[in-house]
């Protein structure tokens, strides 16, 4: 009912004029879109009647370096002119405008269709795309609603309801802090699963644990780096540089995930989720081996220890030095479902599921295709198998939490949105120092790969009803 109320007020000439002027006045948009140079068509499918009558099918925006050169109702000619065409039904467009959604995230969730153009291009400029939509006027600010209309009352109560929901969510998000005056409580067990209802061997975590005991048994100490050392001497300085670069990111990354996992294990243990904790014992053990593995590779192959930390640039530090430990250590004070969702989102979806997976693809492209460094390849193959179980557990945990607490979907999505932005910036940052990237690596390919990894994982989450 509420959606119906506003429908006719959007996408009118008056609404479009208002948007045009709002873009031109927005300093935020000018700043975020200063490198954006792509005309875009926001297309309707199906086309609403009022546009169909005019022979129009969407809204065309000619955007160049922070300036809006044109914004008008678009048609088939504009489709040809557009570098990007995004398609959705009218309700979705209204929702996107009202709720200030991130278009890139909406594409990944399958709510928006990228009919023309590159997802990499859009994701590179996602801050600009979001800021653009933020300038779009809400229907009630266009001045079309009549003050004494009965509909206005309904409209008002609708917004009250939305606000209430937001404030309720805000309350729920407040971390549960432990008062310093509280007497420490000694934890007690009221019973045990093993001696009570029995371990659930059919549960997903227990199935993963069975796999971990078969595929996770490998020893970094027995991997032979003799051939790697011989081949290393034959590599060019540029090739060595990028391999050390990538390894410097993995060495610290594996150490970070080893150091930061414990609060999650402790949280699930406190909840008595024995099957999940059992699997997580293998998870932590494997991360520890991954940390060992990269150090063994470096010690076995390089004769001198390089300055690894010069490769830890701004966004890498934001993610691995700040946000990963922040989101996991938050659980020590706040073990709420939302805090768990954020922890797993950062750890499993972004660090493991997006960045690490993209890193393996980089190793694969450099080494497998050139038949290089067999010891490093052997370890990475094992490590990748381990990681697939870790990510699978993360998706299971997130889905469980979302099914039990569907009200956190939006907060969780917003969290992922922020972190995905950091992750794609890490990829930009990796390629920055290279004029010509050794082994023919291509930044666009990797960005595309990272986004697809993330999208693939998003599709497995219960987010579609939101």
| Residue numbers at the binding site for Fe ion (CB under 5 A) | 254, 287, 290, 352, 387, 390
Output the smallest distance, CB 100 to Fe ion, in A: 33
- Can you tell me the distance from the alpha carbon of 355 to that of 450, in angstroms, rounded to the nearest whole number? 7
Q: Which of 177, 200, 466, 193 is nearest to 330 (CA)?
A: 177
Please list, in sequence order, all residues whose beta carbon lies within 8 angstroms of the beta carbon of residue 81, skipping any fewer than 6 positions away.
39, 60, 62
Query: 432: burial class by Cβ within 10 Å (0-12, 13-18, 19+)?
Result: exposed
Please list, in sequence order, all residues whose beta carbon lies within 8 angstroms of the beta carbon of residue 386, skipping any fewer than 6 positions away.
212, 215, 216, 286, 289, 290
Q: Reduced to 3 states, what is the DSSP secondary structure of residue 131?
A: helix
Q: For Fe ion, which is the closer residue by CB, 254 or 378? A: 254
Q: Which of 424, 415, 264 is nearest to 355 (CA)?
A: 424
Q: For Fe ion, which is the closer residue by CB, 102 or 357? A: 357
Q: For Fe ion, which is the closer residue by CB, 56 or 390? A: 390
Asked whether 245 and 430 are in contact (CB, 8 A), the reply is yes
Q: For Fe ion, which is the closer residue by CB, 228 or 254? A: 254
Q: For Fe ion, which is the closer residue by CB, 90 or 254? A: 254
Output the smallest distance, CB 212 to Fe ion, in A: 11
Q: For Fe ion, which is the closer residue by CB, 158 or 285? A: 285
Output the smallest distance, CB 140 to Fe ion, in A: 47
DSSP state of 111: S
- Can you tell me the distance from the alpha carbon of 34 to that of 344, in angstroms, rounded to the nearest whole number? 34
Output the smallest distance, CB 72 to Fe ion, in A: 50
Asked whether 103 and 112 are in contact (CB, 8 A), the reply is yes
Q: For Fe ion, which is the closer residue by CB, 273 or 290? A: 290
Dihedral over alpha carbons 245, 247, 250, 252 (to 10 degrees):
-80
Output the smallest distance, CB 423 to Fe ion, in A: 15
Output the smallest distance, CB 324 to Fe ion, in A: 12
Strands (E), 45-133: 58-64, 67-74, 84-88, 113-116
Q: Which of 339, 207, 166 is nearest to 263 (CA)?
A: 339
Q: For Fe ion, which is the closer residue by CB, 257 or 416? A: 257
Q: Which of 313, 335, 323 is nearest to 415 (CA)?
A: 323
Output the smallest distance, CB 283 to Fe ion, in A: 7
Angle made by CA atoms 358, 223, 242, in degrees to the nearest 5? 40
For 187, half-sphere exposure in the C-beta direction (CA atoms, 13 angstrom radius) is: 7
Q: Which of 329, 318, 330, 328 is nearest to 355 (CA)?
A: 318
Q: For Fe ion, which is the closer residue by CB, 228 or 287? A: 287
Output the smallest distance, CB 282 to Fe ion, in A: 11
Please list, in sequence order, all residues whose beta carbon lies within 8 angstroms of the beta carbon of residue 300, skipping any fewer than 6 positions away.
225, 228, 229, 375
Output the smallest distance, CB 437 to Fe ion, in A: 25
Q: For Fe ion, which is the closer residue by CB, 78 or 277? A: 277
Output the smallest distance, CB 94 to Fe ion, in A: 40
Output the smallest distance, CB 219 to Fe ion, in A: 15
Beta bridge partners of 87: 43, 113
Q: For Fe ion, which is the closer residue by CB, 74 or 394? A: 394
């Amino acid at each position: 009912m509420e959606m119906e109320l506003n429908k006719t007020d959007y996408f009118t000439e008056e609404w479009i004029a208002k948007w045009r002027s709002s873009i031109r006045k927005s300093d935020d948009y000018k700043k975020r879109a200063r490198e954006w140079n792509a005309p875009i068509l926001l297309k309707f499918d199906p086309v609403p009647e009022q546009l169909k009558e005019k022979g129009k099918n969407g809204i065309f925006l000619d955007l160049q370096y922070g300036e809006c050169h044109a914004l008008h109702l678009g048609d088939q000619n504009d489709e040809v002119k557009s570098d990007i065409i995004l398609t959705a039904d009218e309700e979705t467009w209204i929702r996107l405008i009202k709720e200030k959604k991130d278009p890139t995230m909406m594409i990944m969730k399958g709510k928006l269709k990228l009919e023309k153009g590159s997802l990499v291009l859009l994701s590179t400029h996602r801050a600009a795309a979001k800021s653009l939509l933020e300038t779009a006027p809400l229907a009630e600010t266009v001045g079309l609603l009549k003050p004494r209309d009965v509909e206005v009352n309904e409209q008002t109560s609708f917004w009250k309801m939305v606000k209430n929901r937001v404030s309720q969510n805000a309350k729920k998000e407040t971390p549960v802090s432990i008062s310093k005056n509280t007497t420490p409580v000694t934890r007690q067990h009221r019973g045990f699963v093993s001696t009570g209802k029995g371990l659930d061997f059919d549960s997903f975590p227990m199935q993963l644990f069975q796999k971990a005991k078969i595929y996770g048994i490998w020893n970094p100490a027995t991997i032979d780096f003799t051939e790697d050392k011989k081949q290393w001497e034959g590599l060019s300085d540029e090739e060595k540089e990028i391999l050390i670069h990538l390894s410097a990111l993995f060495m610290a990354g594996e150490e970070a995930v080893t150091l930061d996992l414990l609060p999650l294990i402790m949280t699930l243990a406190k909840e008595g989720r024995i099957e999940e904790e059992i699997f997580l014992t293998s998870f932590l053990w494997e991360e520890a081996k991954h940390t060992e593995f990269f150090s063994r590779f470096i010690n076995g192959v390089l004769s001198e220890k390089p300055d690894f930390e010069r490769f830890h640039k701004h966004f890498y530090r934001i993610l691995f030095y700040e946000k990963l430990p922040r989101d996991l250590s938050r659980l020590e004070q706040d073990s709420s479902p939302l805090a768990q969702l954020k922890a797993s989102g950062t750890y499993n979806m972004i660090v493991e599921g997006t960045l690490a997976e993209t890193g393996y693809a980089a190793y694969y492209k450099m080494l497998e295709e050139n038949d290089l460094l067999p010891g490093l390849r052997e370890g990475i193959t094992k490590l990748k198998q381990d990681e697939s179980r870790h990510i699978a557990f993360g998706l299971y945990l997130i889905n469980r939490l979302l099914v039990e607490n569907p009200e956190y979907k939006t907060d969780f999505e917003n969290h992922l949105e922020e972190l995905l932005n950091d992750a794609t910036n890490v990829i930009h940052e990796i390629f920055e120092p290279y004029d010509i990237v050794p082994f023919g690596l291509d930044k666009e390919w990797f960005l595309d790969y990272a986004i697809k990894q993330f999208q693939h994982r998003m599709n497995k989450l219960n987010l579609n009803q939101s």
